[in-house]
Chain A
Amino acid sequence: MEVPLLKQGDFLIATIQAALTDADLLHLRKALVQQVVRFRSRGVIVDVTSLDVMDSFASRTLREVAQMIRLRGAETVIVGIQPDVAFAMVQLGLKLEDVTTALDLEEGLAHLSRKSTNGA
């Protein structure tokens, strides 16, 4: 299943709608890393609200996305991790270290806007 990428001002928003296969995730990673420079976005938000499972591959891919996007000159925020998912992830040792997280899309946008005003 393809994940739609929406451009919203300076930011790029990817909303994951349903469970993704590993191939979908890799596709998402590639698309995001390409588009972030094409749209000259300053921040990327990946919304995982509708995911009720986050396995090790998914969390590693999201971490890689964040690192790659940092190298491409933008910041990534993962938003909407469900409480149960968060706890399960921590218990499995999937801590998404060095990745910024936020409660929901609104929070993520607020965080990125704050960053870009500070940086400007």
Chain B
Amino acid sequence: MTRIDGGPESTQVQDQYIETTENSRPVSVLLRELVAHLRDNRTQLREEWARRITEAKLLTAMTKDEIFAEATSVYDNYVEALETGTFEALQAYARNLSERIIPRGVETDEVVGIVLLLRDVLARSLFAKYQTDFTKLNRILDAYEPAANRIANTVAVGFVQERERIIREQQEAIRELSTPVLQVRERLLILPIIGVIDSQRARQLTEQLLRGIRTNRAKVVVIDITGVAAMDATVANHLVQTVEASRLLGATVIVTGLSPEIAQTIVNIGVDLGKMNTVGDLQGGIEQAERLLGYKVVPFVETP
């Protein structure tokens, strides 16, 4: 009896109940009444909802006006989904909304929270309207609750899916641009590392470096970790392994840009960096590498 789509079955149900009493009217009729009520009280309910959102300190990343504008669209979409029983439009809207608000730091609990608030606001207004006729209130709620639950579900799922899509995209992007192995001189490579290194990335880094050493026939490699904020024991060990593996290929590794924090961490962990060649900054590293390779950089003085 809680079907809300306009399929053939529900039409049949409708016909069957056409001559019956007020209290056993089919769901679709009740829903229509419900939708009419929500449309009539649109302004008031919308404002009530926006007020509750602010009160509950949800969507703090957005301004009051923005909340009200979004609340209006969500409200209209909500009522439409109730009326038509189709969720595609709402789903599309939820995805679109998520796309806009996720970059601004809106969390899942906030989105679920506001939809549940709307559900609450509307249910309260129904209580207020039908408080004299308890049986009818029950029937209305029978029609309203399943649809409202499904709407909440749709919006939450849409939000989470969008979030996951963004995460996947970002992971992909990071993987792509994470590890350039660059040749700066004949037989000299640099490997600037920026950002967080997890074990998967560390592995990929090592593979790319070793392959780079082979293809470029490198003798010296400068690994610059200025852009690495923190390093744990696993990653430090991996760095040592990379240095040793490079040596097995006949290349010398110079590590540059160890921040004071990382230096401290490494000393505390007790990773053996004794065999590692470290220089303060990238410039110093490249200069040392040039010395190792027998280059000498002489400033070019223009003759007058």
Which of B86-94, B102-110, B133-141, B242-250 faces chain A?
B242-250
Q: Is the CB of A91 within 8 A of B250?
A: no
8 A Cβ contacts from A74-120 to B: 78-79, 81, 83-87, 89-91, 95-96, 101-104, 107-108
Question: Is there a chain A Cβ closer than 8 Å to B201's Cβ?
Answer: no
Q: Min CB distance, B273 to chain A, in Å?
A: 14
Please name 25 pairs of A and B residues whose Cβ atoms are closer than 8 Å in the assembled complex, sorted by A.
A79-B250, A83-B207, A83-B210, A83-B213, A83-B249, A84-B207, A86-B210, A86-B248, A87-B210, A87-B241, A89-B248, A90-B241, A90-B242, A91-B241, A95-B244, A95-B248, A96-B248, A101-B250, A102-B250, A103-B214, A103-B217, A103-B250, A107-B217, A107-B219, A108-B250
Per the bound structure, the CA–CA distance linking A104 and B245 in Å amounts to 15
Q: In chain B, what residue has the closest Cβ to A77?
A: B250
Q: What residue of chain A has the Cβ atom nearest to residue B215's Cβ?
A: A83
Give the interface centre of B211, B219, B249, B251 by most chain A CB atoms within 10 Å.
Answer: B249
A83 touches B211 (CB 8 A): yes
In the complex, residue of chain A having the shortest beta-carbon distance to the beta carbon of B275: A97
Chain B interfacial residues counted at CB < 8 A: 18
Question: Chain B contacts of A83 at CB under 8 A?
Answer: 207, 210-211, 213-214, 245, 249
Q: What's the Cα separation between A103 and B249 when bound, in Å?
A: 5
Nearest CB of B to A106, in Å? 9
List chain B positions with a Cβ less than 8 A from chain A: 206-207, 210-211, 213-214, 217, 219, 241-242, 244-251
Instruction: List, in ascending order, chain B residues with CB within 8 A of A84's CB.
Output: 207, 210
Q: How far is the CA of A103 from the CA of B210 in the complex (A)?
A: 11
Minimum distance in angstroms from B274 CB to a CB of chain A = 12
The minimal Cβ–Cβ distance linking A113 to chain B, given in whole angstroms, is 15
Besides A102-B250, A107-B219, 8 other A-B contacts (C-beta < 8 A) = A83-B207, A83-B213, A84-B210, A87-B241, A95-B244, A101-B247, A101-B248, A103-B249
| Residue among B214, B245, B248, B251 facing the most chain A CB atoms (10 A cut-off) | B248
* Min CB gap A1→B, angstroms: 23
The answer on a CB contact under 8 Å between A107 and B214 is no
* From B242, B244, B251, contact of A103 by CB (8 A): B251
Complex Cα distance, B218 from A102, in Å, reads 10
Bound CA span A107–B217, Å: 9
A51 to B248, CA, bound (A): 14
The interface residues of chain B lying within 8 Å CB-to-CB of A107 are 217, 219, 250
> Complex Cα distance A36/B213, Å?
31
Q: Which of B207, B217, B219, B251 contacts A87 (CB 8 A)?
A: B207
The CA-CA distance from A64 to B233 in the complex, in Å, is: 32
Q: Are A90 and B250 in contact (CB under 8 A)?
A: no
Check A89 against B249 for contact (C-beta < 8 Å): no
Task: Report how far A83 CA is from B206 CA in the complex, Å.
Answer: 9
Residues of chain A lying within 8 A (CB to CB) of residue B245: 83, 86-87, 89-90
Most buried by B among A81, A86, A89, A107: A86
Contacts of A89 in B (CB 8 A): 245, 248
Once bound together, how far apart are the Cα atoms of A102 and B246, in whole Å?
10
- Across the two chains, which residue of chain A brings its CB closest to B246? A86
State the CA gap A87–B207 with chains docked (Å).
8
A114 to chain B, nearest CB (A): 10
Q: How far is B242's CA from A87's CA once the two chains are assembled, in angstroms?
A: 7
Q: Is there an interface contact between A101 and B249, defined as CB atoms closer than 8 Å?
A: yes
- Select from chain B the residue with minimum beta-carbon distance to A107: B250
Instruction: Compute how far the CA of A96 lies from the CA of B250 in the bound complex, rounded to whole angstroms.
Output: 12
- Bound-state CA distance A96–B244 (Å) is 9
Chain A residues closer than 8 Å to B213, beta-carbon distance: 83, 103
Q: Do A90 and B244 have beta carbons less than 8 Å apart?
A: yes
Q: How far is the CB of B265 from chain A (nearest CB, A)?
A: 21
Specify which chain B residues have a CB less than 8 angstroms from the CB of A95 in the assembled complex: 244, 248
